[in-house]
Structure 1
Amino acid sequence: MVTGFRLNLAPVKEPLGFIRVLEWFTTVFAFASCAGYVGRNVVTLRCAGGANETLNATFTYPFRLNQALLVEANATICNHSVSETHLVGDAASSAEFFVAVAVLAFLYCMAALLVYVGYMHVYRDSDFGPMFDFLLTAAFAFLWLVCSSAWARGLQVVKDATGTEGIASTLGVCRQDVACQVSEYANLRNLNISVVFGFLNLLVWAGNAWFVYKETRWHSQKRASQGVGHGPVPAQI
Structure 2
Amino acid sequence: MSSFQLNLNPLKEPLGFIKVLEWVASIFAFATCGGFKGKTEILVSCPKVPENKTITATFGYPFRLNQASFQASPVNVCNISWNNLVLVGDYASSAQFYVTFAVFVFLYCITALLLYLGYTNLYRDSRKLPMIIFGFLNMILWGGNAWFVYKETSLHSPSNTSASNTQGGIPPTGI
Same fold by TM-score greater than 0.5 = yes
The answer on whether the counterparts of 1:64 and 1:89 sit within 8 Å (CA) in structure 2 is: yes
Change (3 A) 1:47 1:70: same
Deviations 1:83-116 (A, max 9, x none): 5121111111211111111111111000000011
Determine what percentage of the aligned residue pairs are the same residue. 47
Counterpart-to-counterpart distance in 2, 1:133 and 1:35 = 32
Counterpart-to-counterpart distance in 2, 1:34 and 1:89 = 17
The answer on whether the counterparts of 1:115 and 1:123 sit within 8 Å (CA) in structure 2 is: no
Counterpart-to-counterpart distance in 2, 1:44 and 1:114 = 54
2:105 maps to a residue whose letter is A
Residues 25-40 of structure 1 mapped to structure 2, 5 A cutoff: 25-40=24-39
Q: Does 1:131 pair with 2:132?
A: yes
Change (3 A) 1:14 1:88: same
Counterpart-to-counterpart distance in 2, 1:32 and 1:20 = 18
Aligned match of 2:42: 43
2:12 maps to a residue whose letter is K
Change (3 A) 1:9 1:130: farther
**What TM-score does the superposition give when structure 1 sets the normalisation length?**
0.51
Aligned match of 1:160: none
Instruction: Say which SS state the counterpart of residue 97 (structure 1) adopts.
Output: helix
Determine which structure has the larger helix proportion and give its number: 1
* Count of residues paired in the alignment: 139
Change (3 A) 1:82 1:29: closer
2:66 maps to a residue whose letter is N
Aligned match of 1:202: none
**What TM-score does the superposition give when structure 2 sets the normalisation length?**
0.68
The structure whose RCO (Cα within 8 Å, separation 6+) is larger is 1
Q: Does 1:101 pair with 2:77?
A: no
The answer on whether the counterparts of 1:12 and 1:116 sit within 8 Å (CA) in structure 2 is: no
Q: Does 1:18 pair with 2:17?
A: yes
The answer on whether the counterparts of 1:42 and 1:54 sit within 8 Å (CA) in structure 2 is: yes
Counterpart-to-counterpart distance in 2, 1:130 and 1:105 = 22
